[in-house]
Each structure stands twice: as structure tokens, then as C-alpha cells.
A and B are shown apart, each in its own frame.
Chain A
Amino acid sequence: MKVAIIKYNAGNIRSVDHALKRLGVHGDITDDPATITAADRVIFPGVGEAGTTMKYLVERGLDRLLKDLTQPVLGICLGQQLMCSWSEEGDTTCIGIFDQPVRRFPAGGLKVPHMGWNSLDWVGGDLFPAELKGSYVYFVHSYYVPVGENTAAETNYMVPFSAAMQKNNFYATQFHPEKSGDPGELILSQFLKL
């Protein structure tokens, strides 16, 4: 199986590759359109700031390329946010796969960033067997996607939000499956099995 991991300016991309390796799959870290298009699975990781990252993607045409992919695609963390329509972070127009805005966690409540292990209070969709309900996964983010029709898993931090999303061949997690212990590995292997 060929897995393309989209290479771009920021983020711990290496750890996604390492997680795949632990599952016995080799990942190609690449920004080459042909390699991405030809892959069986595409992973769109991401840590960083929405505005500069979108700019980078647009300049290379990767935003359109991503939207047109037909194989299973998995966005991670900022990847999920950039797959939405718009982000409050830097008032950024995003790729628009999920018709959802991205909001900043309200100030004055709990600490922001939301950092650490939080529970999946509700799970649905193809990547989440029912046994994952209540499992803890690892989050690091200051912006969130509200719960909507594409929500595939829900977590609560001041507000309930989309811990994961799914629409057609597009999947996304706000948390880092590559850093989420056994539950994370199960989710990644579900994605590879699709």
C-alpha cells in the first residue's frame, strides 16, 4: 500500500511516518502532486498557524489537489481545520471540504491551548469502532470545529467540538492519532483498512 504524507512547512510530520512504520506501512513524505494523486491513502498532517499554512498550500496548488482527491484522505489536527471552509485564526479561507467554520476556544474559561489527553465522548463513522467511546486521545489546539453534520467523534472542552470528521472519502481528526497510544493506532489502522 502506498501512503503519501503531505509535506509542508510546519509540523511534526516525522512522527506520522513513524506511527505508520509501527503499523508495518511505509509512508512517503512528499509534496509532489503526481505521487500524492497516485497514493492509495493520503495523510494531511499539520501543526502550525492556519493563515501561513494555507498560503503555502495555495501557492503550490496543493489546496485544489487535496479537494479533488478520491482515495481516502486523513487530515490531522490543523489538517482537519484546513479542510473546513474558514478559520477564525487569521480570518483564513480554507480548503472547504467540510462546510464548517473553525472557531477559537473562548477566553476566560479553561486554559488554551487545549493540551493533553481528553475523552471521546461520542464516536461514529468508519474509523471509530464503538469500543473507542470513552477512550483518551491526545489533543493540542487552540481552535476547534463545532459539532455539525460531518462530526465523526465528539469531545468536550468548554464546548462540545468535533474530535473527528468524515465526509465521503475525507476523514479528519483534531487529535493526534500518531501520538494517542493504542486508541490512536487502532484509528490509524482502521484508516489503512478502509
Chain B
Amino acid sequence: MLAKRIIPCLDIRNGLTVKGINFENVVDVGDPVELGAKYAREGADELVYLDITATHEGRKLFTNLVSSISEHLNIPFTVGGGIDRVEDADQLLSAGADKVSVNSSAVRDPGLIDRIARGFGNQFVVVAIDAQWKNDRWTVYINGGRIATEKELSSWALEAQERGAGEILFTSMNHDGTKKGYACEALRELSQKLSIPVIASGGAGEKEHFVEVFEKGEADAALAASIFHYNEIPVPELKAYLKKNNIIVR
């Protein structure tokens, strides 16, 4: 049986792992390669590295970092942040990334999804969507949650799938950083509408939240950051808990 995936997410700024709370207030938490290798040893199924630097120097550091991650890691990893052109994706692929995630750049230029998918396959493109529930609607945001767009979560996710996304990574801005659980209802709706896998993000605080996100949210994978970085829920303990609750994990 296909296992549900647990994905620690590492935000990278100038080559270091950082974690923000509600998209703000970043704090350094350590060496990305070491941290990634530790998660891999502990049973993480995949990793996501997001470059939040967005400067030229930061980008170069990040590409070098991707190459080093690929050397040391024997599990798949996705990289994202500042991928505006097919050339950026190509560079990260050459450095050893297994997938790239596009977010704001895909909203501004949806054709980017098509072009990356055509060039490197659908499996290579993760479309990350930050959305906020407000006025009875899931509004899609860009620029790290700072700018609201006209787009609505599920129609944008369907369009991304149509254009060749291999996975959707949905972060609920209402839940992110709260540690009160994932946006299970919205996730379930999304998962049922889409034929590609959905990665849940935002809100993990307790082990129970992961059972909920897989059972109620019907997510294919669950992403979290701080609970892993601060060792509040070690990956092996989480996996054991999920197994005990009849969730299929590796």
C-alpha cells in the first residue's frame, strides 16, 4: 500500500534554516544539510527546502546548498522559492533537486507550470498555494502571504493540475503557525476535486493533527516545520503514533 508521507519543511535564508511564525518573525534553527540528513535518518519521507532569501547572492548560496543536499540525502526533496523561469528550475534540477515548487511566480505567469512540466515532467512541478479563508472564500495570496489575488483556492488548484502540476501543496494561512491542526475540511474538498496528490501544510501542533489530516483531510502527505525543528514531535514518535492509529506509513 502507498504510505502517507511526512514532510519536514526547511525555510532557508542565506544558507541557514529558519522558521517563521505566521509568515513573519524568522528565527535561525540550524544547518540545512545536517538537519535534512537527521530527518532522513529518523524516517522523514521527503523534505521541502524553501529559499526565502530572494537576493542574487542568496540564490547562488541556495543552488550550492541544493547540490550539497543531493549529495547527502537518500530521500527525495523539493526546492522552492524564487523560481520564475524554466532556467531556474533547470538549474535546480541539475544541482540534484527532485522537484521544484512554484508559488507566486505561477500565479503571475501560469504558463510557467506548463513549461516546467513539459520540460522536465509533471512529477517535477509542485504548485504551492497559500490561501486564506476570508469572507466565505479561500483567497489565494502571493509574496509569502502578503498580497491577495483574485484567485480562489480550488479553481486555481484545478487549473494548476490541468497545466501539468504533479502535486499541490496547500498552506492555510489561517492555520499556519497556530498549532491547532490542519485545515481538514478545505483539504478534503481539494483532495476529492483533484486527481493529483495533495500535501497539507499549516497548523500541525499535535500528533493527533496528523491522524486528522490523513483521515478527515484525505491528504496524501503532511508538511510541518517547527514541531520537527524544535523537536516537539520527533519523526519516529510521530510515525509510531500514526501506525498505532492504522495510518499506513513507512
Could you list which residues of chain A lie within 8 angstroms of chain B, going by C-beta atoms? 10-12, 14-15, 18-19, 21-22, 47-49, 107, 110-119, 136, 138, 140-142, 156-157, 176, 178-182, 184-185
Contact of A179 among B2, B75, B119, B250 (CB under 8 A): B75
Residues of B within 8 A of A156 (CB): 1
Q: Shortest Cβ distance from B165 into chain A, in angstroms?
A: 11
Interface of B is mostly: loop
Least CB separation from A114: chain B residue: B2
B residues adjacent to A (C-beta < 8 A): 1-5, 40, 45-46, 67, 70-72, 74-76, 93-98, 119-124, 166-167, 194-197, 220-221, 250
Chain B nearest Cβ from A89, distance in angstroms: 11
Q: Which of B70, B76, B94, B121 has the most chain A CB atoms closer than 10 A to its own CB? A: B121
Q: A22-B74, A156-B1 are in contact. Are A113 and B123 (CB under 8 A)?
A: yes
Residue of A nearest to B45 (CB): A117
In the bound assembly, the distance between CA atoms of A114 and B46 in angstroms comes to 15
Contact A176-B3, Cβ < 8 Å, known A12-B93, A18-B70, A117-B45: no
The contact of B5 among A111, A116, A157, by CB within 8 Å, is A116
Are A111 and B119 closer than 8 Å at their CB atoms? Answer: no
Q: List 6 A-B contacts (CB under 8 A).
A: A10-B119, A14-B67, A48-B121, A111-B195, A117-B2, A118-B2
The residues of B that contact A136 with a CB separation of less than 8 Å are 3, 250
Q: How would you classify the secondary structure of chain A's contact residues: helix, strand, loop or mixed?
A: mixed
- Note all chain B residues with C-beta closer than 8 A to A180: 74-75
Q: What chain A residues lie within 8 Å of B4 (beta carbons)?
A: 116
How many Å lie between the Cα of A116 and that of B75 in the bound state?
10
Task: Select one of B94, B95, B120, B197 contacting A115, CB under 8 A.
Answer: B197
In the assembled complex, the Cα of A145 lies from the Cα of B98 at a distance in Å of 22
A18 and B196 form a contact (CB under 8 A): no
Question: Which chain B residues lie closer than 8 Å to A12 at the CB level?
Answer: 93, 96-98
Min CB distance A21 to B, Å, is 7
Checking B40, B70, B120 against A15 with a beta-carbon cut-off of 8 angstroms, the contacting residue is B70
A118 contacts B74, C-beta separation under 8 Å: no
With A18-B70, A181-B75 already in contact, the answer to whether A116 and B3 are too (CB < 8 A) is yes
The 7 closest A-B pairs by CB, nearest first: A136-B250, A14-B96, A140-B123, A117-B3, A117-B250, A179-B76, A18-B71
